[in-house]
Structure 1
Amino acid sequence: MRLSRVGNAGHLVLYVAESQQGAGDQDVLDLANSQDAPLLTQDKDFGELVYRLKRLHTGVILLRLAGLSAELKSDLTARAIRDHGVRLAGSFTVISVSIIRIRRDQ
């Protein structure tokens, strides 16, 4: 996915796969929290951390966009952040092709 599209829209983007390679999910969530930034991921395990284990977070955005091109994933993600930006903070959001679900529990 082209994270530059999200960054070019004025949002801070940290690419954890490069900077924190091999870090566990809790460490990645802690890093996002320390930056007061939502976590953008394709890993459904973060749902378990947030809901079953009740971990605190500053926002998780789960991308359910398998099978789409990197360009289309980037476009859909950037559009969702643009259209719903302030509502995403502190929420667990799922972005799919047909719907954006935003759930705020905290």
Structure 2
Amino acid sequence: MRLAATLEVHGHDVTSINRDYAQGVSDVDVLALATREARVLVTFDRDFGELVVRHREPHAGVIYLRLGVVPLAAKAERLLESIDYLASQNRPPFLVVTPIAIRSAPE
């Protein structure tokens, strides 16, 4: 089961760029779309950190998964933990998720 499907099984409303949108959508457009729709962006692409942290692009929350080569079940577990952490925050953070830690990147 893919991560998007795992989130859906856990009751989350999910949109997938790969599944729901045309190929070739830029990172800037993806971030803007997620922000417009008040969606948390889940990504393996560190370029979103550049957009959010360095360029101060608005966002509704970003979860950057830096998990390396781990089984899908472990990725899903860390993602669900990250969503719980995100819900406890006062403002939408840029989260960096590794196998051993979840941290908010400075903005």
Whole-Å Cα distance in 1 between the matches of residues 91 and 15 of structure 2? 16
Identity, % of aligned pairs? 32
Report the aligned-residue RMSD.
1.9
Task: Report deviation, 1:103.
Answer: 4.1
Q: Does 1:74 align with 2:63?
A: no
Q: Is the 8 A contact 2:86 2:92 kept in 1?
A: no
Q: Is the 8 A contact 1:5 1:78 kept in 2?
A: no
Task: Report deviation, 1:79.
Answer: 2.4
Task: Report deviation, 1:83.
Answer: 4.4
TM-score where L is the length of structure 2: 0.85
- Tell me what 2:28 maps to: 26
- Please list the CA deviations of residues 4-45 of structure 1 after superposition, one character each: whole Å capped at 9, or x if unmatched: 222222221111112222100001001101110110000000
Residue type of the partner of 2:56? K
Q: Is the 8 A contact 1:57 1:90 kept in 2?
A: yes
Query: How many pairs were matched up?
Result: 105
Whole-Å Cα distance in 2 between the matches of residues 60 and 88 of structure 1? 14
Instruction: Structure 1: give runs of 5+ residues left out of the alignment.
Output: none
Question: Among 96, 101, 104, which residue is 1:102 paired with?
Answer: 104
Question: Among 26, 35, 43, which residue is 1:41 paired with?
Answer: 43
- Please list the CA deviations of residues 49-95 of structure 1 after superposition, one character each: whole Å capped at 9, or x if unmatched: 01221111111100001111122111211122134424285210011
Question: Among 57, 60, 63, which residue is 2:59 paired with?
Answer: 57
Change (3 A) 1:103 1:88: farther
TM-score where L is the length of structure 1: 0.86
**Worse-matched range after superposition: 66-75 or 2-11:** 2-11
Whole-Å Cα distance in 1 between the matches of residues 75 and 6 of structure 2? 10
Q: Is the 8 A contact 2:65 2:96 kept in 1?
A: yes
Larger RCO: 1 or 2 (CA < 8 Å, sep 6+): 1
